[in-house]
């Protein structure tokens, strides 16, 4: 998806003020800044002999900061810099950064018509989240628009980079100027986000009337928005002089202008937010836990070794893809997931867009799963599939265990990728490599599993109640292994939705599902059921009466439990 005219929007955003570069770089260690040791690289007229005519720059590529070295020769015409340049004639850092970035990409031409989201990540090491304003109908849905503004405000206040653009559908649309002054196909840098106080004097403070405002900059440095809140519009009379000075409002065609967030959602089609994910415990802001894993889609004739199965449309090969497991350890947690394929220099040089179409699905699985999935389970979330270098998804998920399956859209395509998973608490994210329990020299002595059984406890009804309702949970037990659900508070009809998977060495022994009431001093037993679960037991949903723990003649207790059981002699059936 090419939403921008020029891949160097990130550079233009940083060039708008030197403070922006400082803010961007401050989120990394000195080794990881875009301009490392900039004071040492600065020209010092007192030490001209120290100047060697070379410069170092760092860009984030595929999980690490890459050092790029260039000389000081810059392309000019008539003694004027051709591409990116500063307003000051003796300031060259932005042109040098652009040259280093062009070297990383292959050449200057490779920077034209690139993907803004990729450039933002290269300059920050962050995670890009593209948002389709038209598809989300943010212009007409005030609630969604207010939520989006708060997210944009948070990203901006924490040093992230944000871009907005108007999609150019055809080649003729590219660089077409609209009647409102905006240009299609340009990646406008969002340089400020704030709630602007309306009114004058003390009355403004008492009324507390504020407007959601965005400041944007055209990378050309000219051609501005001419609608409401443009440089010379009468709307600015609603804002006090001190507020205008604080906002830095200027009346000149410098390419930078203000507009309401509502108008932005109405006229622009796309926003790209590049979050700088904070993983430092020393910060006052939210700290994320990051899991970073390298993987690959590889092709092999043996289906059990093939790792390029394509998307879910290809059901026969889908589960041959790489699989990664992670845990959500809070009752509910916001999870950020990004998959990035390894960049190909040749792709960007010839402009053919050879990125693979990639994406991923997330499945909620058994609480004790340790081996690869072989059949469909509940799909908790899924990303889009797009031929972009990276794909991002933000999702809220309840407590439990999940499997991520990153794929190419078509089977048989190969390539390397980087998976990044951000959660509030450590997720223990890791790759699932084995399809079933491994055989060892101890297997002949201790036995090897003969059968796999999946037990899915959906919920219960009619439990022994109290004045506040039962605080119940279930425990699934099988051959010394057990799975416990979260406590469902204050209800006699809880929904557990918990699954366990068991590789059984003694299929003749039943599986037990117990229901307990959580109490402060000692938990109370509410009943249990025993499941035979034969290997040919492909039963549908069963509702069973709870019984006591008597092994001879169990008697019924108040309540029923809904259970789904799937068993097979093939250990790779689930």
Measured CA to CA in angstroms, residue 186 lies from 12, 54, 189, 224 at distances of 12, 32, 9, 12
In a domain, 282, yes or no: no
- Mean pLDDT score across all residues of the chain: 85
Q: Which of 214, 246, 275 is the last residue of a domain?
A: 275
Distance CA 168, CA 183 (A): 9
- Dig out the tokens for 440 from the structure: 């060892």
- pLDDT per residue as tens digits for the range 428-453: 999 999 999 998 777 667 788 999 99
pLDDT digits (tens, 9 = 90+) for 501-533: 999 999 889 999 999 999 888 999 999 999 987
pLDDT number for residue 23: 34
φ and ψ at 238, to 5 degrees? -80, -10
| CATH code for the domain in which residue 228 is found | 3.90.70.10
Q: Are residues 111 and 151 in the same domain?
A: no
Do 386 and 492 fall within a single domain?
no
Is 84 annotated as catalytic?
no
Is residue 280 in a domain? Answer: no
The total number of structural domains that make up the chain: 4
Residue 498: which CATH number? 2.60.40.150
Instruction: Catalytic residue, from 6, 186, 311, 456: name it.
Output: 186
Mark whether 130 and 112 lie in a shared domain: no
Same domain, 244 and 310: no
Mean pLDDT of 474-502: 94
* Res 91: pLDDT: 82
Model pTM score:
0.83
d(CA 34, CA 60): 9
Kindly give, in sequence order, each residue whose CB lies less than 8 Å from that of residue 424, ignoring residues fewer than 6 positions away: 286, 288, 289, 330, 333, 334
Cα separations in angstroms, 320 against 170, 225, 451, 502, 572 = 38, 51, 22, 22, 12
Which bin fits 58, alpha (ψ -120 to 50), beta or left (φ > 0)?
beta
Active site residue 314: no
Q: Is residue 178 part of a domain?
A: yes
pLDDT of residue 206: 57
Choice among 218, 278, 321, 517 that is catalytic: 218
Task: Tell me if 401 is assigned to some domain.
Answer: yes
* Predicted local confidence at residue 451, as pLDDT: 93
Contact 380, 395 (CB under 8 A): yes
pLDDT tens by residue, 157-174:
888 889 999 998 887 887
And the tokens for 59?
A: 């860009």
State the pLDDT at residue 281.
Answer: 67
Closest alpha carbon to 288 in 193, 421, 179: 421
186 carries an active-site annotation: yes
Residues spanned by the domain of 209: 126-275
- Sort strands 210-217 and 358-365 into parallel, antiparallel or unpaired: unpaired
Please state the three-class secondary structure of 514-551 as a single string. Answer: EEEECCCCCCEEEEEEEECCCCCCCCCCEEEEEECCCC
Q: What are the start-end ranges of the E strands in 299-357?
A: 323-341
Q: Give the residue, 28 or 168, on which the prediction is more confident.
A: 168
CATH of the domain at 299: 2.60.120.380
Q: Considering the domain boundaries, does residue 562 fall inside one?
A: yes
Q: What is the pLDDT of residues 80-126, one digit of tens each?
A: 888 887 777 788 888 899 999 999 888 888 887 667 888 888 888 88
Looking at residue 94, what is its pLDDT? 84
Residue percentage of the chain with pLDDT more than 70: 86
Position 29 in a domain: yes
Among 84, 101, 125, the domain boundary falls at 125
Whether 92 and 142 map to the same domain: the answer is no
Instruction: Say whether both 321 and 418 belong to one domain.
Output: yes
**One domain for residues 341 and 415:** yes
Same domain assignment for residues 341 and 243: no
- Please state, in angstroms and rounded to a whole number, the distance separating the CA atoms of residues 109 and 98: 12
Nearest CA among 373, 356, 369 for reference residue 310: 356
CB atoms within 10 A of CB 432: 18
Mean pLDDT, to the nearest integer, of 200-210? 63
| Residue 175 in tokens | 């660089």
Residue that finishes a domain, picked among 432, 457, 485: 432
Q: State whether 53 and 37 are in the same domain.
A: yes
Establish if 573 belongs to a structural domain: no
> Looking at residue 77, what is its pLDDT?
92
Reply yes or no on whether the pLDDT at 31 is more than 50.
no
Per-residue pLDDT tens for 262-305? 999 999 999 999 988 877 766 666 778 999 999 999 999 999 99
Instruction: Tell me what the mean pLDDT of segment 247-260 comes to.
Output: 76
> What token pair was written down for 48?
């001209």
Whether 247 and 334 map to the same domain: the answer is: no
Do 182 and 267 belong to one domain?
Answer: yes
Q: Which of 15, 94, 338, 429 is catalytic?
A: 15
Q: Do 121 and 135 reside in the same domain of the chain?
A: no
Tell me, yes or no, whether 492 lies in a domain: yes
């Amino acid at each position: 998806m090419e939403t921008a005219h020029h891949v160097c929007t990130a550079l233009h955003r940083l060039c708008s003020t030197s403070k922006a570069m400082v803010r961007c770089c401050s989120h990394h260690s000195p080794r990881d800044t875009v301009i490392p040791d900039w004071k040492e690289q600065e020209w010092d007229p007192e030490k001209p002999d120290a100047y060697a005519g070379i410069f170092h720059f760092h860009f984030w590529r595929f999980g690490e900061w890459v050092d790029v070295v260039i000389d000081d020769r810059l392309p000019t015409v008539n003694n004027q810099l051709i591409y990116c340049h500063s307003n000051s004639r003796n300031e060259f850092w932005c042109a040098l950064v652009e040259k280093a970035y062009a070297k990383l990409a292959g050449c200057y031409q490779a920077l034209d018509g690139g993907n803004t989201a990729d450039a933002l990540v290269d300059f920050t090491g962050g995670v890009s989240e593209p948002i389709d304003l038209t598809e989300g109908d943010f212009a007409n849905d005030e609630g969604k628009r207010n939520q989006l503004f708060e997210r944009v405000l948070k990203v901006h206040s924490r040093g992230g980079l944000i871009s907005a653009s108007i999609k150019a559908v055809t080649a003729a649309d590219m660089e077409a100027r609209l009647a409102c002054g905006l240009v299609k196909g340009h990646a406008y840098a969002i340089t400020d986000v704030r709630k602007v106080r309306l009114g004058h004097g003390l009355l403004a403070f008492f009324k507390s009337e504020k407007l959601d405002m965005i400041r944007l900059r055209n990378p050309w440095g000219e051609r501005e928005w001419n609608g409401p809140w443009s440089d010379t519009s009468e709307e600015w009379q609603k804002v006090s002089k001190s507020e205008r000075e604080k906002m830095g409002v200027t009346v000149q065609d410098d390419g930078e202008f203000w507009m309401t967030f509502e108008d932005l959602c109405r006229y622009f089609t796309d926003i790209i937010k590049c979050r700088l994910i904070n993983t430092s415990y020393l910060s006052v802001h939210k700290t994320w836990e990051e899991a970073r894993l390298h993987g690959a889609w590889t092709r092999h004739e043996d289906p059990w070794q093939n790792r390029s199965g394509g998307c879910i449309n290809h059901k026969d090969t889908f589960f041959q893809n790489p699989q990664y497991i992670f845990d959500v350890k809070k009752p509910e947690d916001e999870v950020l997931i990004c998959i990035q394929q390894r960049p190909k220099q040749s792709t960007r040089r010839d402009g053919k867009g050879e990125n693979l179409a990639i994406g991923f699905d997330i499945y909620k699985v058994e609480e004790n799963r340790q081996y690869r999935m072989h059949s469909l389970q509940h799909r908790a979330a899924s990303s889009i599939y797009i031929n972009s270098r990276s794909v991002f998804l933000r999702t809220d998920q309840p407590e439990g265990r999940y499997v991520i399956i990153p794929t190419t859209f078509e089977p048989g395509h190969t390539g390397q990728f980087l998976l990044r998973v951000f959660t509030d608490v450590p997720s223990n994210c890791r790759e699932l490599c084995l399809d079933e329990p491994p055989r060892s020299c101890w297997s002949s002595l201790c036995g090897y599993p003969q059968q796999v059984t999946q037990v899915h406890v959906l919920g219960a009804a009619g439990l022994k109640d109290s004045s506040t309702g039962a605080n119940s949970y279930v425990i699934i037990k099988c051959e010394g292994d057990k799975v416990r659900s979260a406590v469902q508070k204050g209800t006699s009809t809880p929904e557990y939705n918990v699954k366990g998977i068991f590789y059984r060495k003694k299929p003749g022994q039943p599986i037990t599902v117990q229901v307990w009431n959580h109490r402060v001093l000692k938990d109370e037993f509410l009943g249990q059921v025993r499941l035979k679960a034969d290997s040919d037991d492909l039963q549908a949903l069963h509702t069973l009466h709870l019984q006591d723990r008597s092994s001879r003649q169990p008697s019924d207790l108040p309540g029923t439990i809904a259970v789904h059981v799937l068993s097979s002699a093939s250990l790779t059936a689930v």
